[in-house]
Amino acid sequence: MSEKPLSRARRALARDAAVADPALWITRLPDEAVLARAAALEAGEALPLQGLTVAVKDNIDVAGLPTTAACPGYAYAPETSAVAVQRLLAAGANVIGKTNLDQFATGLVGVRSPHGVPRNVFSAAHVPGGSSSGSAVAVAAGIVDVALGTDTAGSGRVPAAFGNIVGLKPTIGSVPATGMVPACRSVDTISVFARTVDAALAVQRVIAGYHAPDPYSRAAPAGYLRRAALAPGVRVAVADVGHLCAPDWAAGYRAAGALFASETVEIGPFLEIARLLYDGPWVAERSSALREVVEGRPEIIHPVTRAIVAGGLSRRTVDAFDAFHALAQVRRQAEALFAQYDALLVPTAPFCPTLAELEADPIGPNSRLGTFTNFVNLCDLAAIAVPAGFGADGMPVGVTVLGPAWSEGRLAAIADHIHRSLGTDVAPAAAPDPLAADETALFCIGAHMSGLPLNLQVTGLGGRFLREARTLPEYRLHALGNRPGMARAAAGAAIAGEVWALPTAAIGALLAQVPAPLGFGTVALEDGPCLGFLAEAHALGGAPDITAHGGWRAWIAAGRPA
C-alpha cells in the first residue's frame, strides 16, 4: 500500500467527478467525510488496507448510510455496518459510498433499478452487467481501488467481465453475510471487484472468517487463501461450450484454454441444474426473503423484479425436493470432476447485450447471461472471473476459473496467469505467499507432483505449489512401478521435483497414504534442506535406475523406457 490515504482519496474523488455517472451511486459520502477519513488513516498506525478506496453495493449495510437494495420504499438506516464492512474499515479501508444495483440483487444486466443504469465504461450502448452494476463500474472506471458486490447467480462475475476487471466469488459461507440483504440466502455471498487477482484476494483475506451469528457461516480450512504459484503440471478442464457464445467471446475463451495443457470436458449436467436457479425452488427462496414486501407492498418493487419474485409464491414443495435431489447428484459429478482437474474454465458470459436488446426483451438476454454462472453457487464452487482480451468491436470478453470450495488460493495462480497473458496493463505476477508458521515444505518427486495421479492427495490436504526445485547431485532415482524411489548415493545426480507447502498438521495424514518402501526424510536441495520423499535403499536394488533422466516427469515424457 505505497500510495498514501489522502492521495488515494483525492484521486478517487477527482475521478468520480470526471466520470460523472449519475446512476453509479445511490448514496455517496460527502467529499469532506472521505478526506477526513483519509487524513485520520494517514496520521494513524499502519494497517493492511490503509487508505484503500472502496465502494459498497447498496444491499450491504454501512452504518450512517441508508440501505435501499435499489428500492426506495424498502430503505432502512442500519445502526451497524455489515461484518464484512466492519472488517474492511478495521483494516484501514476508506468507504466512498453505496452503489447502484439490479433491485434486490435480482438480475445480471444492471438495468433493473429506479436509479438508472450505470454506464458501461466501454460502450454507452451496452449493459454494465448486474446485479452489482455500480460496484463493478466504480472499479472499471478507475474511481475506487476495490468494491464489494454480492453473488447469487453471477452478480459478482458478469459485471466484472463487462468492465474488464476481476471478480472474485468466494466460497459460500466464507464471508459473513450478516448485514447483507438476502436474495437466495442459502447460496448468496459477498464478492469482491478489483483490477487484479491479488488485489481481490487481499480483500477477501480481510473480510473472510467464521461468524457464529450467521447461520450459513462455515469454518474454513487453514491457509486456503494463501497464494500458490502456477504449478507446471496444472490440470485445467475446458468446458465444451464455445459454441454457445458469440464469436468474440468464443475466441477469447479458446485463447484462455490454449494457455494450458487442457482437456475438453462436457458440463451438460451443470448447465441443466443452472436453469433451476430461476425456474425452481430458489425462486421461492427469493420470494421468502422479500415476502413481506411482495405480499404487502408490491407497488414499491420494479415491475420486472416483482414479476420474478412473485412467481416464487406459487412453487410446490414436492418440486423443490426433486430439485434438491437433482442438485445432490450434480454436486457429486462436480466432486468427480475436481478429483481429476485442478480447475474448470468457462466463459464468464456468452455475450454482452445492448440496452436496446433489454428494452425489447427484459427477461431473455438476462437468462442467457447466467448460462455459465448460475450453477456455480448451487454446486458450492469458488470462482475468479478475469479479463481475456477484447473483441473486434472493442468490447471486453472474460473467462472464469472454477474450483471446489476453499480453493481460492490455488485458483488465484491460474486466474492471474490468464489475466496477465490475455489482459492489458496488468501488474507483474505476484510471488506465492511464503511458507507460513503452520506449514511444512515438502519436496515431491513423483506421482504427487502437479498434474500427476496422486497430486490430489496433496491438494486435498490443503497443499499449495511453491516452486520447482532440484536436489544436490547426491541421489539416485529408481522406477517402482507407478512411482519413483529416491535414495542418497555416493555416485549420485541432481533430481528434479516440486516444493509444496502443506499444513504441518496434514503431513502425517499424507504419510499414512504413502506405501513402503517410501517415506519422508530430509532431502538436500540446491537451496537448502527440505522434507521430501525418500525410499529405503535396500528396496531399490532390483528396480530400474532412471537417474539419467533427471526426474520422474522427464522419464514419463520419454515414454517410461525399460
Distance from the Cα of residue 250 to its chain's centroid: 21
Catalytic residue among 155, 174, 191, 407: 155
Is there a catalytic annotation at residue 57?
A: yes
Catalytic residue among 57, 135, 191, 450: 57
Q: DSSP strand E in 137-184: where?
A: 146-151, 166-169
Q: 484 forms bridges with which residues in the sheet? A: 479
> Are 375 and 326 contacting, i.e. CB atoms less than 8 angstroms apart?
no
The residues near 341 (Cβ < 8 Å, ≥ 6 apart) are: 235, 236, 237, 263, 265
Prior bond of 517 cis (ω within 30°): yes
The three-point CA angle 319-181-300 to 5° equals 85
Distance from the Cα of residue 300 to its chain's centroid: 34
> Are 267 and 239 contacting, i.e. CB atoms less than 8 angstroms apart?
yes
Is there a catalytic annotation at residue 131?
A: yes
> Are 371 and 350 contacting, i.e. CB atoms less than 8 angstroms apart?
yes
> Are 254 and 363 contacting, i.e. CB atoms less than 8 angstroms apart?
no
Using alpha carbons, select from 433, 509, 498 the residue that is nearest to residue 467.
498
Catalytic residue among 81, 98, 113, 131: 131
Q: 499 forms bridges with which residues in the sheet? A: 443, 467
SS3 451: coil
Cα pseudo-dihedral 7, 10, 13, 18, rounded to 10: -100
The DSSP string of 97-125 is: EEE--SGGG--SSS---TT--PPPTT-TT
> Are 100 and 134 contacting, i.e. CB atoms less than 8 angstroms apart?
yes
* Cβ neighbourhood burial of 474 (10 Å; 0-12, 13-18, 19+): middle
> Are 61 and 81 contacting, i.e. CB atoms less than 8 angstroms apart?
yes
Alpha helices (runs of H) in 233-354, residue ranges in sequence order: 247-257, 268-274, 281-289, 291-296, 303-311, 317-338
Residue with cell 528396496: 539
Task: Determine phi and psi for 454, rounding to 5 degrees.
Answer: -100, 5
The residues carrying an active-site annotation are 57, 131, 155
